Amino acid sequence: MKLRMLLGALFAVTAALSAYAQNGDAKPVDATIAELEGKVSVKRAAEEAWAAGAKDMKLPEDSEIATSVKSGATLLSTEDVTIVVKSSSLVKLTRSALTEQASATKLDLKYGVLEVDVKRTTGRANLLSIRAPNATTSISGTTVIIFALGRPMTDLMQVPAHALVMFKDGEGLVARDEDSIVIVVGEKEALMQLATLPVDNLLALAGTTEMPYLGMVDYESGTVVDGLIVGDILTMGEPYAGLVPGSSTNPNPVILNQQAGSILPGPPPPPPTP
Amino acid sequence: MKTLTLLPLLALAACGFVETAPAPATPPPPPPPPIEVDWQDPTAETTWMMSLESKPVATYEDGLRAVALLVDRDLASQPWTTVKGRLMQRSVVPAEWNFLPDSPLTKGQLAYVLTQALAIDGGIMMNVLGPTRRYAFRECQQNGLVVGNYQQEAVSGKDLLASLYKAEVYQTDGNLDSLRRP
């Protein structure tokens, strides 16, 4: 009987470890309410009712947070990611996970305004995905502000749909798939480290299936400058050494503007013609 | 002979010119049940906002409670008659407005109460003729507090949420410059 129980337990542990490994070794982490102002309500995952939010409250994946007028909350998702939920907003934390090399945070902004700042303190590359209806976006450095205020204001900057945007100076990149904005922020080394992860692990971590387009953004003004690469960043082979080739999304990426791709190690410049 | 007469009709039917019986349409999904707000609950304000998100048309009561949140947070959770009465005392709502609480909120009404609550002076016409829905709407349309083309248009729940956020920014900064591109 004892042997049966032992075998059962062993089987359960093996199955759990197998599932863990299949998920790219991504470990879910709870977000923490670091600061709170005014009236903030929270619906933790697997709970039916909304309750008043409190400082230091832990929010697991699939929790929601709503703020009223003249209210706000600051969440710490992973060590590097700070999310400021502005007043009159509703956000769902759909993903908060990390591996040794990278972290992933996914947010679903139903309405309101969200300000996300990604610091680079741990050396990890950070993937951030924000889904929002009619969103307009403002990017300054590593801070991204998403406005979901009903109709978009025409004089706010619009990040075009289906664009993967990269900061010019190589400090980060912003990607957008069909219905969300994926932002990857990190130093060159961290990005390269991220790029060496197996594709499936990375996508499992990010919770996305593909990263279809890549473009450039002017780091200073935050405006989109130029299309860079059409295809999956992770499928780029030589001359982008270190990136893992092979993906079902686009095996043959088209590089539109190699010159602009200075964020990643590019081909050596051609010798000057005499 | 009869067959000959029917032939063109049959040909037209085959080409799709003759209307055939439409396929049975699948009934649209039922709308989500309205969210009840218990204003004594500590999460009432956020619950009310979530209810706005799914409303195609916000009500007059929604508009006044939104403005009450801006001018006096505690007032917003009071019964409807108290909210309306206090806002009338503050001249945010004209005394002659006797709209039903569940009547649709128009952009003119929202603009009027916002200009009064935020003490927006407006342009020459608003100063000469006094605050009216027409000129309050033009003022709010220009400064971005209210979106739309006509003051008679109904305000959707999402538009009211957006106006509420912008009004709060306006209340703090005196303008909406922080929401615009630098």
**Closest-CA residue in chain B for A38?**
B73
**Closest-CA residue in chain A for B182?**
A221
Q: What is the mean pLDDT of chain A?
A: 58
Task: Choose the closest CB to A68 out of B49, B156, B158.
Answer: B49
Residue type, A125: A
- Interface probe, candidates A36, A37, A41, chain B, greatest B C-beta count within 10 A: A41
Q: What is the mean pLDDT of residues A100-126?
A: 75
Q: What is the mean pLDDT of chain B?
A: 83
Read off φ and ψ for residue A73, nearest 5 degrees.
-145, 145
> Rg (Cα) of chain B, in Å, rounded?
24
Residue B156 has pLDDT above 60, yes or no: yes
Residue A202 has pLDDT above 70, yes or no: no
Residue B13 has pLDDT above 60, yes or no: no
What pLDDT, on the 0 to 100 scale, is given for residue B97?
Answer: 93
What pLDDT, on the 0 to 100 scale, is given for residue A132?
Answer: 66
pTM: 0.67
- Which is more confidently placed, A263 or B115? B115
Tens of pLDDT, residues A45-102? 988 899 999 999 999 999 999 999 999 999 998 777 888 999 999 999 988 888 776 7
Residues of A with CB under 8 A from a CB of B: 39-41, 50-52, 66-70, 86-90, 110-113, 138, 147, 149-151, 153, 155-157
What pLDDT, on the 0 to 100 scale, is given for residue A80?
Answer: 76
Identify whether the C-beta of residue B133 lies closer than 8 Å to the C-beta of residue B111. yes
* Alpha carbon distance A124, A107 (integer Å): 19
Task: Choose the closest CB to A69 out of B47, B164, B180.
Answer: B164
pLDDT band at A240 (very low <50, low <70, confident <90, very high): very low
What pLDDT, on the 0 to 100 scale, is given for residue A164?
Answer: 33
Structure tokens at A137: 């976006």
Cis peptide before A160 (omega within 30 of 0): no
Contact B164 A111 (CB under 8 A): no
B75 contacts chain A (CB < 8 A): no
What pLDDT, on the 0 to 100 scale, is given for residue B121?
Answer: 82
List, as one string, the DSSP characters of A119-156: --SSS-EEEEEEE-TT-EEEEETTEEEEEE-SSPPTTS
- Which is more confidently placed, A9 or A137? A137
- List, as ranges, residues 92-131 from B with C-beta within 8 Å of A: none
Percent of chain A clearing pLDDT 90 (strictly above): 19
pLDDT band at A245 (very low <50, low <70, confident <90, very high): very low
Percent of chain B clearing pLDDT 90 (strictly above): 42
Q: What is the mean pLDDT of residues B98-108?
A: 93
A40: which chain B residues are within 8 Å (Cβ-Cβ)?
46
A89: which chain B residues are within 8 Å (Cβ-Cβ)?
165
What pLDDT, on the 0 to 100 scale, is given for residue A92?
Answer: 92
Structure tokens at B180: 């615009």
Q: What is the mean pLDDT of residues A247-256?
A: 33
* Cβ neighbours for A168, distance < 8 A, ≥ 6 positions apart: A216, A217, A218, A219, A225
A68: which chain B residues are within 8 Å (Cβ-Cβ)?
45-46, 49, 69
Residue A113 has pLDDT above 70, yes or no: yes
Residue B79 has pLDDT above 50, yes or no: yes
What pLDDT, on the 0 to 100 scale, is given for residue A34?
Answer: 95
What pLDDT, on the 0 to 100 scale, is given for residue A21?
Answer: 35
Tens of pLDDT, residues B22-71? 566 777 777 667 777 888 888 999 999 999 988 889 999 999 999 999 99
A115: which chain B residues are within 8 Å (Cβ-Cβ)?
none
- Which is more confidently placed, A251 or A271? A271
How far A65 CA lies from chain B's nearest CA (Å)? Answer: 9
Tens of pLDDT, residues A132-178? 665 555 554 445 566 655 543 333 333 332 223 333 333 334 444 43
A39: which chain B residues are within 8 Å (Cβ-Cβ)?
42-43, 45-46
CB atoms within 10 A of CB B87: 23
Full 3-state SS string of A17-46: HHHHHHCCCCEECCEEEEEEECCEEEECCC
- Which is more confidently placed, A208 or A258? A208
* Cβ neighbours for B8, distance < 8 A, ≥ 6 positions apart: none
Percent of chain A clearing pLDDT 70 (strictly above): 33
3-state secondary structure of B3: helix
Tens of pLDDT, residues B108-119? 999 999 999 998
Region label for A170, one of left (φ > 0), alpha (ψ between -120 and 50) or beta (otherwise): left
A149: which chain B residues are within 8 Å (Cβ-Cβ)?
161-162, 165-166
Query: Burial of A115 by CB count in 10 Å (0-12 exposed, 13-18 middle, 19+ buried)?
Result: middle
What pLDDT, on the 0 to 100 scale, is given for residue A265?
Answer: 31
What pLDDT, on the 0 to 100 scale, is given for residue A104?
Answer: 76
- Of B3-7, B11-15, B114-118, which gets the smallest average pLDDT? B11-15
pLDDT band at A274 (very low <50, low <70, confident <90, very high): low
B177 contacts chain A (CB < 8 A): no
What pLDDT, on the 0 to 100 scale, is given for residue A99?
Answer: 75
Contact A52 B42 (CB under 8 A): yes
Closest C-alpha among A189, A191, A174, A183 to residue A225? A174
What pLDDT, on the 0 to 100 scale, is given for residue A44?
Answer: 93
Residue A210 has pLDDT above 90, yes or no: no
Closest C-alpha among A168, A184, A136, A131 to residue A257? A168
What pLDDT, on the 0 to 100 scale, is given for residue B142?
Answer: 86
ipTM for the predicted complex:
0.79
**C-alpha angle with apex A237: A259 to A225, nearest 5 degrees?**
30
B47: which chain A residues are within 8 Å (Cβ-Cβ)?
41, 50
What pLDDT, on the 0 to 100 scale, is given for residue A241?
Answer: 27
* Cβ neighbours for A184, distance < 8 A, ≥ 6 positions apart: A125, A126, A127, A128, A172, A173, A174, A175, A191, A194
Strands A224-230 and A254-255: antiparallel
Query: Burial of A70 by CB count in 10 Å (0-12 exposed, 13-18 middle, 19+ buried)?
Result: middle
Residue A200 has pLDDT above 90, yes or no: no
- Which is more confidently placed, A247 or B160? B160
